[in-house]
Structures are given as C-alpha cells and as structure tokens.
Chains A and B, each alone.
Chain A
C-alpha cells in the first residue's frame, strides 16, 4: 500500500487562473475569463471548460491527458478572434513545457495539441455591457472557440 495518496489538482481552476495571469490576454479581456458565465455580462469575455482528463498510464494516478474548450464572445468579430488566438498562442507556446506554481496547486504542462478556431455568430440574443463604451447592448454575439489537449501532472 502506497504511503502517500496522490490527489491531482483542479486542472480547470489552475488553467483559468493561469490565463488570467497573462498580460497579453488581460490587455484584451481584463479578468473576464470564467469557468461559468456570470448572469451580468460585460463583453468581450471568455469561458473555459474542462472536458475530460483520462490518465495516460493507468493505473498510475499521476499524469493525465486533459481536454479543454475555450469560448470567446465579443465584441467585434476581429477582437473576438484575436482573444481566442492570443489564448491559443499562450497555451501552445508559453504554458506548455513548464511547471507553474498556482493557487490551485503545482501544475506541470507537457505537450499541447490545439485545434482550429471556429468562428460563428450566436443564434440567440445575449444582453450585456460593452467594455469599451460601458453601454448596455443586446444582440447575437460573435463567438470564437477552440479545444486543446495537454498532458498535465502535479
């Protein structure tokens, strides 16, 4: 029997915290990178979701191949895409290959595989405040999303 119980960190809390620490991203979206969209929204904003994290070497409970999805709602289409692409660039070029000390725990990020950015416009109307004008707007929002997989371990 192993003396130490390995409990993995909350990957979603860790990566959302990490994204909110990146100045290139906060210059575009401030701290509005959520895991659940707030009731009162200021646009543009982003949401990250954790899809799954199967262990890569079962039964060893240590490293996982985790899949996430990042959604951005704008904002003009161009800003929406720029935020998504900046997040993708940061995740593939900076997050990968390093150990990060975060409030959610120590996270080591291995190889990242990111998918393409899909650009759509919502078919439903969302009400919120425009960050640039501080005025309330309602409309179908441009959306950019991509998913990515990353090998993670404590």
Chain B
C-alpha cells in the first residue's frame, strides 16, 4: 500500500540540494561576469548558502541591496537577477 510521505517537500529539497548548490555557483559566476570588477569587491561578496531558507545565492556587500534594487539616485544593476535569468528561468517572488 502506498503511504504518501507527510514530509515530501523536505525529502525533495534534500534530494536536489546538491544540484541547487551547483546552480547557485553558476549564478555567482554569471553575476561576477556581468559586474565590473575594476572597482570594489562585489564579486568576492557573492555566496551560496544552505540554511532554513533552502539553497540561496546572496551578496554580503553592504551596498548589495542598492546594486541589486537601485535607489532614487541609482538605476538597479541587478547582477543576481540577471545571472539567475542567464542560468535558467528566473521567477520573480
């Protein structure tokens, strides 16, 4: 008899974690490529993390949110979203 797993989301997340980390590294590489590296250290601030959110790609740069989302004085440069779209299908959340 088939018994549905009550924690199927957790089972699936664990099963694909290694592939998601690999995809995250591709996004980091793409983001570093689209961002100019002659100033600052943005490319070195990019991380793939596995935590309670799942597998995530993020920047530790203090100006990372302005680089990604812009401000009233800056256009959004969006290196992470551009890199995610280049690596596959980007879905806004």
Chain A residues near B (Cβ < 8 Å): 36-37, 49, 51-52, 54, 65, 67, 69, 71, 73, 113-116, 122, 124, 126, 141, 143, 145-149
Contacts and interface: CB of A to CB of B under 8 A. Distances in A.
Given A52-B85, A113-B92, A69 B72 contact: no
A77 B61 CA distance: 28
Interface of B: 69-73, 75-76, 78, 81-82, 85-86, 89-93
B91 A149 contact: yes
Contacts of A67: 78, 81-82, 85, 90, 92
B82 A149 contact: no
B76 A65 contact: no
A143 to B, nearest CB: 8
Nearest to A41: B72
Given A52-B82, A65-B85, A65-B89, A124 B69 contact: no
Contacts of A69: 69-70, 76, 78
Nearest to B87: A54
A54 B86 contact: yes
Nearest to B86: A54
B86 A146 contact: no
Contacts of B89: 65
Contacts of A116: 93
B92 A71 contact: no
A151 to B, nearest CB: 11
A137 to B, nearest CB: 14
Contacts of B82: 51-52, 67
